[in-house]
Amino acid sequence: MDYANLISGGHPQALPEDRPLMNSRVLGMVNFGPVFQKPVLEEGSPFLSLRMTSADEKGFVEQWTAGPAQASVSGDLVYAHDGEYLFCAAEIPASERCRNLTRETYLAAFELMDELGYPRLFRMWNYIPRINEDNADGLEIYRDFCAGRSEAFELYGRRRHLPMPAATGIGAQGGNIAFFFLSCRSGRVTFLENPRQMPAYTYPRQYGPRSPSFARATCVQHDALGVLNLYISGTASIIGHETVHRSDLIRQCDVTLENISLLIGRDNLIRHGIETPADLTLRDVDFIKVYVRHAEDIPVVRRRCREAFAPHANIQFLNVDICRSDLLVEIEGIITVPLRADGTQDGAGLKPRWLVHEETSDQ
C-alpha cells in the first residue's frame, strides 16, 4: 500500500520491518489525517480516513494486525476477521438528525458480529463532526447520536446480551460520522467501571434523552496468548456525572490522568476480578490519543502528558471538539501486560501500530 499517496504526500517513517506487513495480516487501518473518506477495502484491507488534522498536518495511520485475515464489504460495513478478531468500520451518512441512521448502522454491525461469530465487542471509536452543534430539532448532535446508539444496544439486548464496550465518542474536523470497532470470538472480556465516576450508561437525563453507551475500559484475556490487554475509553475531567474544573485546563488534565490511574490501579482491577503480575500505572499506557478542544492548549497538555506517561509511549494530540462543551481535554490508551515471567507470547494476537509521518526538514 502506498501510504504516502493516501495521506497527502508525506513520507511515513521506516517501519521496524523494511516494508509494511502483508496485507492479509492487516485487520484494519484508520488514517487520522486531513481528509475524510468513508470506509473502503484498500488493497484487501478495511481502510477509513478521518478528518482529524488541519490541511497542513499529516497525522498518522493506526494499523491493527492479527492473524491471516479475510476482508469483505456488507452494505455500509467494511470488515476483516482472522478467526479470533473482527475489525469493522462504517460511515453513518449525513442527515438532519442522526438518531435513526446511527441505530440502524449499529444494529447492522451487531448483526455482522453475530453472523460471523465474533460476539464479544470490546472497543469502539466514534468520530462525530459538529459534535456540539444542534441538529435540525435543536438537539445537540452528540445527544442525538447517543439516542440512536442507546436504542441499538437496547433493541439488540432483547435478542442477545450485549454489554457495553470501552469506547471513544469524540469530535472530528469534518466528514461524516464514522465508527470502527473490535470484537472477538473466545477471549475473556471484562468490562470495567471507574469507582469515582458514575457509569456513563446511567448518566441522568440532563445530558440528553438517552445516556451514552460505553464502559470505562475493557480487559481482554487470551490465556493461550500470554498477554492481557486493557483498552481504556476516552476519559475526561468528570467526577460522578459532573464536569469538574470547567475552564481550568491544567486541573482538567490532572483529573483526567487521576481518573485513568484509578481505573487501571490494583484496587479497581481486583474489584473487577482481574489479576496482573504487577501494579499498572500511567507509565504502562501506550497508543495514547489526547483530544484537545483548543489548538493553543496543545503545548501545555503535551508537557503534562509527557511527564505523566512513559517516555517511549506512543502519543498523538488531536485538536477536535469533545462531547461536552465544557470539556477541554480527553485521553484514551491501551495497556498490554505480559502474563508469563519470560514475557513470551504464543501467536500474533491483536496489535495496533502507528505509522507516523516524519516532519519534513524545512519545518
Contact positions toward ligand 3EB, by CB under 6 A? 126, 167-169, 200, 212, 214, 233-234, 236, 238, 323
Taking the complex as a whole, the smallest distance from the CB of residue 111 to ligand 3EB amounts, in Å, to 20
Taking the complex as a whole, the smallest distance from the CB of residue 252 to ligand 3EB amounts, in Å, to 11
Taking the complex as a whole, the smallest distance from the CB of residue 177 to ligand 3EB amounts, in Å, to 12
Taking the complex as a whole, the smallest distance from the CB of residue 328 to ligand 3EB amounts, in Å, to 12
- Tell me the three state secondary structure of residue 19: coil
Which residue, 126 or 218, is less far from ligand 3EB as judged by CB? 126
Which string of DSSP letters, residue by residue, matches 343-360? ---SS---EEEEEEBPPP
Taking the complex as a whole, the smallest distance from the CB of residue 327 to ligand 3EB amounts, in Å, to 7
CA distance 183 to 161: 14
Contacts with 218 (C-beta within 8 Å, 6 or more apart), sequence order: 122, 123, 165, 166, 189, 190, 191, 192, 230, 231
Which residue, 34 or 234, is less far from ligand 3EB as judged by CB? 234
> Is there a catalytic annotation at residue 275?
no
Q: What is the DSSP letter of 156?
A: H
Which residue, 65 or 126, is less far from ligand 3EB as judged by CB? 126
145 neighbors 128 (Cβ within 8 angstroms): yes
258 neighbors 266 (Cβ within 8 angstroms): no
Taking the complex as a whole, the smallest distance from the CB of residue 121 to ligand 3EB amounts, in Å, to 13
Per the residue annotation, which of 91, 151, 193, 330 is the catalytic one? Answer: 330
Backbone angles phi, psi at 269, to 5 degrees: -65, -45
CA distance 230 to 252: 23
Helices and strands (H and E) in the chain: how many:
6, 19
In this structure, how many other beta carbons lie within 10 angstroms of the beta carbon of residue 246? 14
CA distance 70 to 74: 13
Sheet with 70-74, strands from edge to edge, namely 70-74, 77-81, 85-92, 177-184, 120-129, 166-172
H or E segment to which residue 99 belongs: helix 99-116
Which residue, 184 or 331, is less far from ligand 3EB as judged by CB? 331
Taking the complex as a whole, the smallest distance from the CB of residue 347 to ligand 3EB amounts, in Å, to 30
Q: Which residue is nearest to ligand 3EB (CB)?
A: 169
- Tell me the three state secondary structure of residue 212: coil
Active site residues: 330
